[in-house]
Structure formats: structure tokens, C-alpha cells
Structure 1
Amino acid sequence: MSKNVGRKMVKKLVEKVDHSSKLRTNILAGMASSAPPLGSQLGQRNINIGNFCKDFNQRTADMKEGIPLPCRIKVHSDRTYDLVIHKPPVTYYLKQAAGIRKGRMKKGEVAGKITLKHLYEIAKIKSEDRPLALLTLEQICNMIVGIARTCGIQIVRDLDPEEYKEFLQNREHTIMQHQEDLRLAKESKMLRTN
């Protein structure tokens, strides 16, 4: 048997090494579409965009539409893929629990408040995520406390509903004022450039 024949047989037995990386992206539950940025990301990896969107939307049909879901997509050489859908990010749960749409806008600002019970419930949900499987519930809670701090969400023992409702109304007024200030600053900048 010649060397060339032996090499060919070995090449057939050895699997090809895959150097492609996983696509990491956030997709809204039930809202995958071929529009950018998702469509172009999938197209670059030779995935059938229509089939992927249909598959993703079917797999997330039982979830509330529009929830951001971190996804990991591994593409194979035959254009098939493995799709792993994780739980929504911690910031999503924190904002939902605090009843806010937007985190802090400037350093030191309190954007919202949650209780220790909220923190524990979010940690229990996130502990089911594969990337956090090796962490204890206490470690996940500590991680969430850090994320809450960067979002401007304060963690308290008890929360008075009436007092918090008033806080949220004042916060909404502050957000509207901030957006108006940004709009005026943008308009004045446009006037200076013209």
C-alpha cells in the first residue's frame, strides 16, 4: 500500500477541524426576521435565513413577544446549525421587577428599587442558564447585585407600594425632562452646523 493511499484513508477517518466561532446575538422572542442585523449575520454564515427565523419563532412562540433572548448559534459545514436560547439578560429582569423602562442616566442616580425577594427570584431563574450552571445561588445573587448597582437599581428589604408609585412618577418626569434636554441640545447643534 502506497503512502498516498494511506494518507487518504486517514484523512477520511479524521474529522475536519472547525475553526468557525459561535454567533452570539440577542433576538427578540417571536420576532426573528430576515431584516438587519440578524439577517446579515446569518447570511455571512450561510444559514438559510427564512428557515432559521421560522424555527426560532416556533421555539419562542410560548414566550411573551419582544423579550430579548441571548442566543448562541453554531453553524456546521453542511449549513445546519445548533441553536441554544438562554434566559433573558439580568438587566431585563431587574427593570421588570423595578417597573422601569430605563436604567440610570447619570452616576449616583437611583432609577428604581427592588426587594431582596425580587433579587432571590431573579437568581433562581438565572441559575437555570447553562453559562451560570457552575455558580452557587449566592454567587449569582452577588453578580446580580453588581448589575443592579450599574443600572441604578437599589435593593431594599421592604418597599412601600404608595411611596414607590410616587417615586416612579417623579422618575418618569425626570426621564421626560432629560429627553427634552437632549432634543434641544441636538437642535442647537444642528443650527450651529448650518
Structure 2
Amino acid sequence: MASKKGVKVMKVAKKVAESGSKSTFLKATIPAGMATPAPPLGPQLGARNINIAQFCKDFNLRTSKMKEGTPLPCRVSVNADRTYNLVIHHPPVTYFLKQAAGIKKGATRPGQEVAGKVTLKHIYEIARLKNEDPTFEGIPLKKVCERILGVAHSMGIQIVETVQFKEYQRFLNQRKTIIEEEEKELEAIKQAKLLRV
């Protein structure tokens, strides 16, 4: 008799799990002005019963004044009547740091190499923008700056007082050569692995 009760409980639990499997919350990073019904965004919205065309139109309209392609972390909460609440955050700290440093990617060996340089003024301006995001709500600006400094360090970005334009251009040109050599080495390793298979 106890086993029949256990089976009933399991069936009920399974039904509850299946009915609640559709999440009413979505976290996604969408490029500004480029929301489309194509994967990966379209299927994620469809699984939550959101009108995909309306969402894309709404998102693209709200981000029309931003530089197209800027990655924007978004939080979407879905209501029972298929309406949604879209919260668009500022771009990630890594995006801002790469823009400020004028680089496309961080260091492959942080702590051992310098990928770029930014000033404390850059850090402060990024912190001021990120402090407006709901994730940083209630956090003092000093703490946000400290977090951004940590991210910069993990990317191999050096913090300096000032940046001399000509000197920094030389540094970036040298860095470009180093990156090209690293990419060639990685491609050679990849080709060697393919030949082994």
C-alpha cells in the first residue's frame, strides 16, 4: 500500500515539474538593433510563449539610438497573459574595457602579458554607467570601481595615470604582431591535431 502512495506522489510530482518547466524568466545578451526571430533568440522566446515578432520590434526600437551590434544583457520576465517586461542593461564591463583600451580581445596569459592600457578616468566612467544597472543597485561607486579593476586585471589590461597617444599606438601595433603570431601557433596546433585523427 505504501508503494502505491509513492507511485501516486511521483506521478503528481512529475506533472508539476512538466507544467512548471516553462520558465517565466529569460536572461540573454542581444546585440543592439539586431534582434531577429532566428536562433538562438527566437526559440527561447517561443518556449516562453512570447510574441517573437513583437519582441524583436520592441527591442530594436528601444536600442535604435545605440551603436548597432553592441552586446546588451537583457532580463525578460513573462506574465501569464503573454506580455513581458524587458529590462535592458548597459553592455558588459569587458566590452567597455576593450573599447577604452582599443583592443579586440584580452590577454591569453593575464598577469604575464599586457593586452592594453586604460586610465582611472576610464574605470570611473565605466563604473558610473554600470552603477545604473539593477545588478549594481545599492552598491557604492567605489565598490563598482574595485570590481571593474579586478575585471581589467583578469583581462590583462594595465591601469595607468595617462596614455600618450603615439606611444600607445606603437604598443598596439606591437601587440597586433604578437596576437597574429599566437593565432598562427594555435592554428598550427589545431591542424596537427586534425592530422592525427
Please give the range of the TM-score, normalised by the shorter of the 2 chains.
Answer: 0.7 to 0.9
CA distance in 2, matches of 1:170, 1:42: 44
Report the TM-score when normalising by structure 2.
0.85
Superposed counterparts of 1:100-139, under 5 Å: 100-108=103-111, 109-139=113-143
Distance in 1 (alpha carbons) for counterparts of 2:179 and 2:40: 28
Give the CA deviation at 1:68. 0.4
Pick the aligned partner of 2:100 from 76, 81, 97: 97
Cα distance change of structure 1 residues 64 and 32 upon mapping to structure 2, 3 Å threshold: same
Distance, in Å, in 1 between the alignment partners of 2:62 and 2:134 is 18
- Tell me, yes or no, if structure 1 residue 60 matches structure 2 residue 46: no
From 40, 45, 49, the counterpart of 1:42: 45
- Could you list the runs of 5+ residues in structure 2 that have no partner in the other structure? 1-21
2:77 aligned with 1:79, yes or no? Answer: no
The alpha-carbon deviation at position 21 of structure 1 amounts to 4.6
1:136, distance to aligned residue in structure 2 (A):
1.1
8 Å CA contact retained: 2:102, 2:116: yes
4+ aligned runs moved over 6 Å, structure 1: none
> How far apart are the structure 1 equivalents of 2:68 and 2:179?
25
Aligned to 2:76, the other structure's residue is in SS state strand
**TM-score, structure 1 normalization:** 0.86
Q: Could you tell me how far 1:59 is from its partner in structure 2?
A: 0.7
Hey, what's the Cα distance between the residues in 2 that align with 1:73 and 1:66?
A: 19
The whole-number CA distance in structure 2 between the counterparts of 1:20 and 1:187 is 42
Match of 1:6 in 2: none
Kept in 1: contact 2:24–2:48 (CA 8 A): no
Corresponding letter in the other structure for 1:158: T
Q: SS of the counterpart of 1:154?
A: strand
User: How much has 1:26 moved relative to structure 2?
Assistant: 0.4
Q: What is the letter of the counterpart of residue 23 of structure 1?
A: L
Is 1:28 the equivalent of 2:38?
Answer: no
Q: Kindly state the Cα deviation for residue 20 of structure 1 after the two structures are TM-superposed.
A: 3.8
Which residue of the partner structure matches residue 157 of structure 1? 161
What is the aligned-residue identity percentage? 56
Structure 1, unpaired ranges of 5+: 1-18
TM-superposed CA distance for 1:47, in Å, is 1.1
**2:171 aligned with 1:192, yes or no?**
no
**Cα deviations by residue, 1:7-39 (Å, 9 ceiling, x for unpaired):** xxxxxxxxxxxx945211100000011111111
The size of the alignment, in residue pairs, is 176
Q: Find the aligned partners of 1:85 and 1:98 in 2 and give their Cα distance.
A: 24
Letter in 2 for 1:164: Y
